[in-house]
Amino acid sequence: MGKIKKKGEAGNAKNYITRSQAVRKLQISLPDFRKLCIWKGIFPREPRNKKKVSKSSTPSTTFYYAKDIQYLLHEPLLQKFRDQKALEKKISKALGRGDVGDAKRLETNAARPEKTGKPRYTLNHVIRERYPTFVDAIRDLDDCLSMLFLFANLPSTSTVPAKMIARCEKLCLEFQHYLIVSQSLRKSFLSIKGIYYQANIQGEDVLWLAPYKFNQRVVGDVDFRIMGTFVEFYMTLLGFINFRLYTSVGLKYPPKFDETKDDQAAELAAFKLESTRLNDPSPSSQIANGESQNGPDPKTQAAVNKLIRQMKDDDTDDAAEAGAATETQEELSTDAIDKFEPVVPGGDVLPQPNYSESDSENLFANCTFFLSREAPRQPLEFILRAFGCKRIGWDAVLGEGAFTTNERDPSITHQIVDRPVVQAAVEETGDGEDNQTSQKLAPNQRMPGRVYIQPQWVWDSINDGELKRPDQYAPGAQLPPHLSPFVQQTQGAYDPTIPLEDQQPEDEALEDSDGEVDDDDLAVKRIEDGAEGMDIASDDDEDDGEEEDGDNESFGGFSEEDDDDDKNDEVDDEEDAEMQYQRELEAELTGKPVKRTAASTTTSTSNKAKAEARKKLAQQAREEAEELERQKGMLSKKKRKLFEQMQYTNNKKSTEDKALRAKRRKLEKEKAKAGKGVV
């Protein structure tokens, strides 16, 4: 006979444990338990039946796996938490005895572990446990970077100490240096929340959000204790990742940090990168801003030596050169990369492979930029350096580390301006002089041969992989839409990069043309109303009034009775009569004879063609709907419900696309009208 099982000793009641039971079992406080769960990656579970799991009458809200809590019993951090708890008890007892000196001594020793030989806890073993491979750590880097970039921009408070902020900022700048050296940055996007960056690190795409450099106001409804626990874990994680990334590209970690430059807002320029190999050049040229720090560049010197050797070997015969050219062409033909072509018409178009992405990675290599003081220096400097730019200057008020602070430097090719065009007065003697320094330009002065652009030009250029036209991003110009590079376009969906005529269906095209006709009708009505309010000189005012009354009686285009008539021919006749009446009014006002043109015939013909096309589309839509209903009747109930759900989703998406096309159509019409008004 089997043994009778007791309640609460097997099944779900044994597999789950409440939070209060877990805290008592681990013998730690609730805040320490939260820290431990966050660091170890243990989160609450939701059992299927809480009544079977709960051993008490009161319903418990938080449950954990019993195996997870058993796993925490062997955590080395538990002993550190218990030691901290014992120290707090000693300090409280000393204060209770009135021995303030002893309590102060205990607190001082705890705050100086390097002097007392009592080390603090570290999270190194936790990082190794949670991320056995480096790829696992890279895949979990999104939240880490977003959190650290956020805390690097916060003001210091009692809950967010200044040391934590400085540590976060330093780790973020070190990570940016790796992206600059390895040229791993791929895309970026400006949004309301902040700036999105996407980098490709060892084959893994990493996307994170960095806030704008504004003064942040810390509110009281945010629990910074929980966020601080995450930040403490993420700082250790990013330190491990930075060490591995720097080692992979042959750099020493941590890089040398100049606190003096950092106090002067140098940021990226406050770090000096050093190579681990003796023969390799120092990679600090990546952030040296065009200034040589260790003599001539070895790569440049090697290129010069190679050119000298080629000049000495000019005695080679033409046959050898021709043979070498033939071999080169054969190698290019044999090494050609295959192209992926769709098998069937309308198939998915795959991205074509290329030899290298060096063109987009060195997009700004031949440019010298100058950032005006109103432009966001930090993100622009990072993006420009990540895409090959070596020379970036800015105003002296933006901080140290600039290639030049002279705005009149003739080597500058591009200047980024983010202010409206100001028409300032210029004295007869010349340009207005600046009160601060003569190296600055007047507000209305431009340097010849320099391209002036707005900051969006940089983001659109790196997202498209090519330098955009600067005239579209000139100061004061209406900027093109800034589109997200992370959205994957699907077939049939609204695409803002394609002209509206190429993607709108036929029924929307007909409605668009009808809308243009309605606008013309409104213009006709306005002129007509203005003509009726004018007095026309004539010999017999009464006869003219009778004639006008007769004309108004003969014209019935504005009566409400026509709404119930046929909409095929009478509407077209009314429009023709209205246009004819408008021409008669204009002729009467100007005293010229009525011009008989073929406009009325053309209008009526186009209206009839539109009506026929509209009828044809309606008939086609009815036939498709009937055919669809017949096909749905042959499906099973389960498949029919699934198909209806798919239809609902597709209709919802098509409605959103239609609204976007209508909004774009309206904006284009307003822009066209504004252009006509200016002309």
Q: Specify the pLDDT at position 549.
A: 47
Structure tokens at 253: 């970690």
pLDDT in tens, 170-223: 999 999 999 999 999 999 999 999 999 999 999 899 999 999 998 888 888 888
The pLDDT assigned to 335 comes to 44
Confidence at residue 618, expressed as pLDDT on a 0 to 100 scale: 81
The answer to whether residue 383 scores a pLDDT higher than 60 is yes
User: Does 351 have pLDDT greater than 70?
Assistant: no
pLDDT at 567 exceeding the cut of 60: no
Kindly tell me if the per-residue pLDDT of 564 is higher than 50: no
**Quick check: 140 pLDDT over 90?**
yes
Distance CA 503, CA 664 (A): 12
Residue 118 DSSP class:
-
CA separation (Å) from 580 to 253, 254, 524, 530, 594?
84, 84, 11, 17, 9
Q: Please indicate whether residue 295 or residue 109 has the higher confidence score (pLDDT).
A: 109
pLDDT reading at 296 higher than 70: no
Which pLDDT band holds residue 658 (cuts at 50, 70, 90)? confident
Distance CA 73, CA 506 (A): 69
Question: What is the per-residue pLDDT for 558?
Answer: 42
Tell whether the model's pLDDT for residue 588 goes beyond 80. Answer: no
- The angle formed by the CA atoms of residues 396, 401 and 402, to the nearest 5 degrees, is 60
- Tell me the C-alpha distance between 458 and 193, whole Å: 19
Token pair 């003064």 is at which residue? 215
Whole-number Å distance between alpha carbons of 96 and 653: 69
Tokens, residue 1: 């006979």
Q: What is the mean pLDDT of residues 22-34?
A: 91
Side-chain half-sphere exposure of 334, counting CA atoms within 13 A: 6
Instruction: List the Cα angle 591/592/596 in 5-degree steps.
Output: 145
Q: Is the pLDDT of residue 679 over 50?
A: yes
Mean pLDDT of 123-151: 94
Predicted confidence (pLDDT) at residue 330 exceeds the cutoff of 60: no
Whether omega for the bond prior to residue 298 falls within 30 degrees of 0, making it cis, is: no
CA–chain centroid gap for 609, Å, is 46
pLDDT for position 421 = 72
Contact 416, 371 (CB under 8 A): yes
Res. 599: pLDDT tops 70: no
DSSP string for 443-494? TT---TT-EEE-THHHHHHHHHTSPPPGGGGSTTSPPPP---TTPPP-TTS-
Type of residue found at 161: P
Residue 596 has a pLDDT of 56
Q: What proportion of the chain, given as a percentage, has pLDDT over 90?
A: 29
Residues 6+ apart with CB under 8 A from 305: none
Over residues 35-40, the mean pLDDT reads: 93
Beta bridge partners of 256: 272
Dist CA 483 CA 191 (whole Å): 10
Render pLDDT for 101-110 as a digit per residue (tens, 0 to 9): 888 888 777 7
423, 425, 427, 385: which is closest to 402 by C-alpha? 385
> Hey, what amino acid is at 314?
D
Give residue-wise pLDDT tens across range 406-450: 888 889 999 999 887 766 554 444 444 444 445 677 666 788 889
Q: In a 10 Å sphere around its CB, with 0-12 CB exposed, 13-18 middle and 19+ buried, how is residue 322 labelled?
A: exposed
**Contact indicator for 121, 28 with CB cutoff of 8 Å:** no
Question: Of 273-282, 293-302, 347-356, 599-608, where does the model show the most confidence?
Answer: 273-282
pLDDT band at residue 624 using 50, 70 and 90 as cut-offs: confident
CA distance 515 to 225: 59
In this structure, which long-range contacts are made by residues 362-366, counting pairs with CB atoms below 8 Å and at least 24 apart in sequence? 362/183, 362/387, 362/388, 363/387, 363/388, 363/461, 363/462, 363/465, 363/466, 363/467, 364/388, 364/389, 365/389, 365/390, 366/413
Secondary structure of the chain: what % helix, strand, coil (to 5)?
A: 55, 5, 40
What token pair was written down for 192? 């309301």
Structure confidence at residue 460 (pLDDT):
94
Q: Is the pLDDT of residue 230 over 90?
A: yes
pLDDT, residue 610, reads: 72
Q: Are 514 and 506 in contact (CB under 8 A)?
A: no
Range of lowest pLDDT (43-57, 366-380, 415-429): 415-429
pLDDT value of residue 35:
92
What pLDDT score was predicted for residue 287? 53
Separation of alpha carbons 286 and 382, rounded Å: 11
In this prediction, residue 37 carries a pLDDT of 93
> Rounded distance, CA 647 to CA 643, Å?
6
The pLDDT of 611-629, averaged and rounded, is 81
pLDDT-based confidence at 310, cuts 50/70/90?
low
The answer to whether residues 187 and 393 touch, using CB atoms and an 8 Å cutoff, is no
Q: Which of 37-51, 143-157, 323-337 comes out lowest in average pLDDT?
A: 323-337
The Cα–Cα gap between 245 and 248 comes to 5
Overall average pLDDT of the 493-511 stretch: 73
The 10 Å CB-count burial string (b at 16+, else e) for 566-588 is eeeeeebebbbebbebbeebeeb
504: DSSP letter: S
CA distance 649 to 645: 6
CB of 22 closer than 8 Å to CB of 33: yes
Q: How far are the Cα atoms of 264, 441, 442 from residue 398, in angstroms, in the given order?
A: 9, 17, 19
**Four-residue CA torsion sign, 300, 301, 304, 306:** negative
Residue 612: pLDDT over 90: no
Average pLDDT, stretch 115-139?
A: 84
Residue 304 to residue 320: CA distance in whole angstroms: 24
Angle, CA of 668, 674 and 679, to the nearest 5°: 125
Sheet holding 414-416, edge to edge: 391-394, 368-371, 414-416, 451-453
Average pLDDT, the chain: 77
- Measured CA to CA, the distance from residue 120 to residue 124 in angstroms comes to 12
Number of Cβ atoms within 10 Å of the Cβ of 464: 14
Burial degree of 429 (CB within 10 A; 0-12, 13-18, 19+): exposed
In tens, the pLDDT along 513-523 reads 665 545 544 44
Phi, psi at 294, each rounded to 5° = -125, 45
Element (H, E) at 210: strand 204-210
Q: Where is average pLDDT lowest: 220-229, 333-342, 397-406, 533-542?
A: 533-542
What is the reported pLDDT for 333?
A: 41
Residue 487: the pLDDT is 83
Mean pLDDT of 448-466: 92
Q: How confident is the model at residue 353 (pLDDT cuts 50, 70, 90)?
A: low
Which residue is associated with the tokens 């601080």?
228
